[in-house]
């Protein structure tokens, strides 16, 4: 953002960490200002008479009252155009690889870099012609951003009219590719304020699942495309690994991963691992369809607050092209902590546990940016699915961020420290977790996987819930004191837990499980349960059922490619074992 000569200038009056007070300017709320001699970027968050309170996105140490403050007159915006996929940004869309070249491994203050490569030329193919009437958001041409991924160039949502001129060819993001009859110049990029949701033609009901390749999510607690999920858990329970697995394997077209206030080593893992991964659908590098936003815990607090909005705006932009986008926010607790810190510096009345009173409404505004929609200017649908990790202190799910998140999310994947200690991963507690999309997605699973999918899931959940009740008795009297039928329930529940729900994120085959394979595993376990129960009725002894070999070999299915052959073999073996 260039600072012009005519821009309003004022002076610094007071400094309190990233919150500064300026006098002598008359901005609007959320206008971006350049603060101090180093022209640090800041955003207006409060106006009191002639005093303007600004949240600065960088470290303010060494600044002093009297330094200049310049109002740019524009809100915080991101550049949207070809070149974002495969990029690694900080919270305010500065590309980190470019900053590293400019100043080494540690980012200095006051540095600026455009979000998009200004020199690279893109091959633009127009799909409209001179004289065509175009609506807001309409697609006017295409650019191949990465191999196999077409970036659609759209009319900005605030413009419409007739095409006065348009030309195909090779252009940079700043070159004029055409004009509207009102004189508006069309480029490959346009800017959009991060705090304003991009408008849509209409919102649709969720009808298809976001397939993640993780058995516990896909079967028991599915997330719809365009839905919202919360994944809360204490330190060490596996939030980040679960988020990364979802980012790697979910069937969204585009992934936006926001590392918001996480530890540097966790983000380093993401930044080093993602560029080496192969997309299972296309066979090309996974980074081709991924945007990473890295805002580690030692980066300025105010930029952390902005990073969530930057990620949401980029996700909405790709949604408007008709793509399915998955946004991972890791973690919204750190974002809420940034809000708490800024709020305390503003001397606002604190709410519960010191969080600002508007915590719930801010979380709701963020999650409301998800959805399955018909974008402006097109009939092709797009979606944004948001998965927010929450890091409650001490694993206490009753704290304000978790509770406020639960009010607005329809899927709750509760991570359990006790399961993690037992090395059961992903450590999702199947009794605390839930999905409110099960009914809406039932027709999709019946049509695309198996008609009995929903009944298998219900049976399995029933067995797991019954196991929980029986375990209380087992702790008192031991499992041998239980009737045979109840001991059989414990056996089947153990199979569900160890074969179905446990999944190795670091095994090259088990890290991703297709729906058909998940269905076959569920079907085998429930067939075993039915055969075992009917054999018990026919007089077979429980010890004989427990001695069957086919059930013990079922876990091998998870780790081999040719699983269908082994499952057929085990099915035949199981039927032989139960012949009385």
Q: How far is CA 68 from CA 10, 14, 25, in A?
A: 6, 12, 11
In 325-452, which ranges are continuous DSSP H helix? 332-345, 359-367, 400-408, 417-421, 438-448
Q: What's the alpha-carbon Rg for the chain, to the nearest Å? A: 27
Out of 2.60.120.1140, 2.40.10.120, 1.10.10.10, 2.40.50.100, the CATH code matching 117-188 is 2.40.50.100
Query: Tokens representing 162?
Result: 């007739």
pTM score over 0.95: no
Q: How many CB atoms lie within 10 A of CB 527?
A: 14
The one-character DSSP state at 498 is: I
- 3-class DSSP assignment, residue 34: strand
Measuring CA to CA, which residue among 198, 154, 155 is closest to residue 314? 198
CATH number of the domain located at residue range(s) 8-75 in this protein: 2.40.30.20
What is the secondary structure of 369-402 as a DSSP string? Answer: T-EEEEETT-SS-EEEEEEEEE--GGG-TTSHHH
Measuring CA to CA, which residue among 48, 44, 92 is closest to residue 70? 44
Alpha-carbon span 450 to 341, nearest angstrom: 50
Q: What is the pLDDT of residue 408?
A: 94
- 3-class DSSP assignment, residue 73: strand
Please name every residue paired with 341 in a beta bridge, in sequence order, or none if there are none.
Answer: none
The greatest distance separating any two alpha carbons of the chain, rounded to the nearest whole angstrom, comes to 93
Q: Do domains 8-75 and 202-436 have the same CATH topology?
A: no
Q: What is the pLDDT of residue 519?
A: 97
Between 239-249 and 264-273, two packed helices, what is the crossing angle to 10 degrees?
20
Beta sheet of 169-171, edge-to-edge order: 149-154, 139-146, 122-126, 169-171
Alpha-carbon span 286 to 149, nearest angstrom: 12
Angle at 511 between CA 510 and CA 514, to 5 degrees: 75
Which string of b and e fits 45-74 if b means at least 16 CB within 10 Å? beeeeeebbbbbbbbbeebeeebebbbbee
Return the CATH fold of 202-436: Rossmann fold (3.40.50)
CATH number of the domain located at residue range(s) 453-577 in this protein: 1.10.1140.10
Residues 6+ apart with CB under 8 A from 558: 499, 503, 504, 507, 509, 510, 513, 521
In 478-562, which ranges are continuous DSSP H helix? 484-495, 515-537, 542-546
Query: Tokens representing 344?
Result: 């305390």
Alpha-carbon span 23 to 27, nearest angstrom: 11
CA 424 to chain centre: 23
Residue corresponding to tokens 């996987």: 449
- List the pLDDT tens digit at each of the 580 positions of the chain: 444 445 789 999 999 988 999 999 999 999 999 999 999 999 999 999 999 999 998 888 899 999 999 999 999 999 999 999 989 898 889 888 888 777 766 667 777 889 999 999 999 999 999 999 999 999 999 999 988 899 999 999 999 999 999 999 999 999 999 999 999 999 999 999 999 999 999 999 999 999 999 999 999 999 999 999 999 988 888 887 888 889 888 999 999 999 887 777 777 777 777 777 777 677 778 888 999 998 877 777 777 888 999 999 999 999 999 999 999 998 899 899 889 988 988 888 998 889 999 999 999 999 999 999 999 988 889 999 999 999 898 888 999 999 999 999 999 999 999 999 999 999 999 999 999 999 999 999 999 999 999 999 999 999 999 999 999 888 888 888 889 999 999 999 999 999 999 999 889 899 999 999 999 999 999 999 999 999 999 989 999 999 999 999 999 999 998 899 999 999 999 999 988 5
What is the secondary structure of 123-163 as a DSSP string? Answer: EEEESS-TT-EE-TT-EEEEEEEETTEEEEEE--TT--EEE
| 8 Å CB contact between 255 and 318 | no
Q: What is the pLDDT of residue 4?
A: 43
| Domain spans in the chain, listed from the N-terminal domain onward | 8-75, 117-188, 202-436, 453-577
Alpha-carbon span 511 to 407, nearest angstrom: 31
Q: What is the pLDDT of residue 300?
A: 74
């Amino acid at each position: 953002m260039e600072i012009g000569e005519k821009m309003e200038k004022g002076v610094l009056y007071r400094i309190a960490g990233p919150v500064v007070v300026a006098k002598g300017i008359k901005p609007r709320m959320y206008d971006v200002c350049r603060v101090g001699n180093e022209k640090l970027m800041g955003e207006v968050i409060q106006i009191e008479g002639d005093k303007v309170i600004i949240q600065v996105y960088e470290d303010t140490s060494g600044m002093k009252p009297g330094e200049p403050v310049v109002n740019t007159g524009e809100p915080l915006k991101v550049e949207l155009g070809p070149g974002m996929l495969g990029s690694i940004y900080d919270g305010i869309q500065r590309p980190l690889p470019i900053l590293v070249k400019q100043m080494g491994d540690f980012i200095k203050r006051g540095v600026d870099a455009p979000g998009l490569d200004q020199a690279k030329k893109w091959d633009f193919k127009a799909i409209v012609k001179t004289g065509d009437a175009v609506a807001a958001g309409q697609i006017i041409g295409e650019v191949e951003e990465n191999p196999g991924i077409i970036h659609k160039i759209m009319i900005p949502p605030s413009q419409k009219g007739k095409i006065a001129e348009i030309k195909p060819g090779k252009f940079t993001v700043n070159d004029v590719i055409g004009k509207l009859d009102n004189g508006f110049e069309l480029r490959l990029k346009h800017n959009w304020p991060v705090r304003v949701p991009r408008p849509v033609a209409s919102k649709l009901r969720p009808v298809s699942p976001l397939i993640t390749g993780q058995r516990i999510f896909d079967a028991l607690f599915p997330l719809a495309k365009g839905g919202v999920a919360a994944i809360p858990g204490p330190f060490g329970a596996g939030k980040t690994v679960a988020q990364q697995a979802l980012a790697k394997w979910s069937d969204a077209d585009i992934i936006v991963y926001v590392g918001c206030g996480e530890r540097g080593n966790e983000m380093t893992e993401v930044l080093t691992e993602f560029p080496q991964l192969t997309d299972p659908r296309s066979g090309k590098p996974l980074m081709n369809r991924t945007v990473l936003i890295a805002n580690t815990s030692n980066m300025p607090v105010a930029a952390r607050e902005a990073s969530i909005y930057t990620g949401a705006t980029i996700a909405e932009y790709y949604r408007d092209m008709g793509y399915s986008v998955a946004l991972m926010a890791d973690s919204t607790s750190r974002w809420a902590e940034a809000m708490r810190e800024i709020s305390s510096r503003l001397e606002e009345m604190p709410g519960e546990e010191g969080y600002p009173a508007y915590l719930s409404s801010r979380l709701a505004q963020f999650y409301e940016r998800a959805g399955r929609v018909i974008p402006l200017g097109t009939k092709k649908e797009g979606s944004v699915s948001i998965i927010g990790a929450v890091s409650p202190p001490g694993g206490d799910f009753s704290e304000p961020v978790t509770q406020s998140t639960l009010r607005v999310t329809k899927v709750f994947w509760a991570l359990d420290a006790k399961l993690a200690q037992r090395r059961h991963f992903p450590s999702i507690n199947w009794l605390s977790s839930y999905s409110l999309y099960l009914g809406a997605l039932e027709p999709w699973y019946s049509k695309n996987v198996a008609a009995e999918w929903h009944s298998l899931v219900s049976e399995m959940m029933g067995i797991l819930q019954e196991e929980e009740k029986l375990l209380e008795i087992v702790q008192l009297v031991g499992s041998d004191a239980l009737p045979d039928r109840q001991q059989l329930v414990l056996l089947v529940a153990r199979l569900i837990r160890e074969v179905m729900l446990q999944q190795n994120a670091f095994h090259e085959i088990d890290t991703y499980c297709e729906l058909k394979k998940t269905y076959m595993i569920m079907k085998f376990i429930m067939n075993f349960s039915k055969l075992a129960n009917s054999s018990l009725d026919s007089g077979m002894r429980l010890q004989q059922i427990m001695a069957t070999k086919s059930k013990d070999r079922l876990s091998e299915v998870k780790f081999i490619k040719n699983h269908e052959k082994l499952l057929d073999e085990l099915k035949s073996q199981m039927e032989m074992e139960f012949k009385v």
